[in-house]
Amino acid sequence: MQRAFVETIVLGLACGPLGVWILLLKRSYAAESLSHAMLPGLVIAALAGLPLIFGAAAGVLVAAILISAVRGDVGVAVVVSGLFGLGGILALSPETPPRLGELLFGDLLGVTNQDLIAAAVLSLGVLVALAFAYRSLAVAGFEQRGGRADLALLAILGVTTVAAVQGLGNLLLVALILAPAAAALNLANRLPQIISLAAGLAVVAGVAGLVISYQLEIAAGASIALCAVALSSIGMLKPKLGMP
């Protein structure tokens, strides 16, 4: 549980700020696509007995190459659906990975010290990259143009996806990226405040989800995702409640 709490805090501090930029640059579909399209890499790594982080990295790389090779949302949808279907076929093979649930929904309570160190290093790299790219991302976000900033954001997204999949699984990690950021964008006006609030909300969702999962004996990844969505929903109620 101690390692799980540290893992959720580390991931929340990276996922929250990244989610703000993902929403500002309207790349939420890319976040969803990368997380789902890496499933074949995860399954192959599980079948081969390799660390899931290697499978996640390989899956994200292949997905990014294929997505960049197609045009339009239809092409991306075809690629993502194909890769996710391939992952499902591999997962349902006679040699079904013993950690299939971990691939889909994460296993925070199974995080090792090595996993924690890897996640911390990757998350720190994400925060440093976001800090260096702050100005270019801000310009791209408010002027609604892509270019190098958009490519940099997708690269950072790929690293974050690799860092988070071990604990949250490929089906649920997007919730911790997008939901706290959506709430923060609705609760604050200035960009630095939005980024800080998104990080805080992501950490709160992670810690609350772990506590609830422990008390109710449910999957930690699913509980964290639900807490993140709940915080986002509360944030969306701000205009209706007349809050300042």
| Domains and their CATH numbers in the chain | 2-241 (1.10.3470.10)
Q: How far apart are CA 225 and CA 220, in angstroms?
A: 9
pLDDT of residue 94: 65
Q: Using a pLDDT cut of 70, give the percent of the chain over it.
A: 86
The pLDDT assigned to 36 comes to: 77
- Given a cut of 80, whether residue 18 has pLDDT beyond it is yes
Q: Which of 131, 138, 231 is nearest to 178 (CA)?
A: 231
pLDDT band at 101 (very low <50, low <70, confident <90, very high): low
pLDDT value, residue 201? 93
The pLDDT assigned to 205 comes to: 92
What's residue 99's pLDDT?
Answer: 58
Higher pLDDT, 220 or 8: 8
Q: Give the Cα separation of 78 and 26 in Å (integer).
A: 20
Tokens of 92: 């349902």
pLDDT in tens, 40-85: 887 888 777 777 778 878 888 887 777 767 766 777 788 888 888 8
Of residues 199, 239, 185, the one with CA closest to residue 24? 185
For 180, the 3-state DSSP assignment is: helix
Asked whether 160 and 13 are in contact (CB, 8 A), the reply is no
Closest CA to 93 of 37, 40, 148: 40
- Higher pLDDT, residue 90 or 13: 13
Separation of alpha carbons 28 and 32, rounded Å: 6
pLDDT in tens, 102-135: 666 677 777 888 888 888 888 899 999 999 988 8
Interval 184-241: pLDDT, tens: 998 888 899 999 999 999 999 999 999 998 888 887 878 888 898 888 887 777 654 4
* pLDDT at res. 244: 42
pLDDT in tens, 134-174: 888 888 777 666 567 777 787 888 888 887 777 777 667 88
